[in-house]
Amino acid sequence: MTNYQFRAIEAINGKILWTRQLPKNTTSGPDSLYLIDGSIYWIADRDVYAFRTSDGGQVWHFQDQNATTFSRQSQLLGVLNGTIYVQLRKDLVALQSANGQKVWTFSLPPLTDIKAIMIGQTIYYGYAIHASNVPPPPHWFTSISQAFYYCSNAIHLFAIKSQSGTLQWQKQYKVTCTR
């Protein structure tokens, strides 16, 4: 992707099959292209676009109207059973992959550095209440035992059911200084 344009290139000979110009005014932050289950998804700040792989034609566009402040946290979490799961700023959103219709929205707390991850059919996120150095999710979530902490912290972890967008469980842990 260059200059808000992406191309499909034939792997065997490098021939350009098609070129797609993306809307330039849709993002004020980072953006990402994902190729999943035969579709191309472009996540740009609070926008999600779906494109066909055959010709680059746009299938649908979704814009999260609730996400009003810039954040570097927009990301695709996964695609499962015809539903695409994305984090758009401080919202977790499930969209029908065929047409972009919203299935559910789950609002995250208004804190910085909250990044969700999807494992199987569950979406996890967490945050630490601290006065020092706790690495942001998802890195510390998967390697919490190896993290190095400089003070006592209250770590809050949450699990959300992907099919319904409801809270499955929430836990709080106390992590003490290691030095």
Sign of the Cα pseudo-torsion (28, 31, 37, 38, in order): positive
Half-sphere exposure of 133 (CA within 13 A, CB side): 7
pLDDT at 146: 42
Q: What element of type H or E holds 142? A: helix 139-142
pLDDT at 26: 52
Yes or no: say if 162 and 85 are a contact pair by the CB < 8 Å rule.
yes
Domain range summary for the chain, segments of one domain joined by +: 1-107, 110-179
Highest mean pLDDT among 26-35, 40-49, 114-123, 151-160: 114-123
Q: What is the pLDDT of residues 145-163, one digit of tens each?
A: 444 444 557 788 999 999 9
Yes or no: say if 29 and 72 are a contact pair by the CB < 8 Å rule.
yes
pLDDT at 72 exceeding the cut of 90: no
Q: Quick one: CATH architecture of 1-107?
A: Beta Barrel (2.40)
Label residue 167 by pLDDT band (50, 70, 90): very high
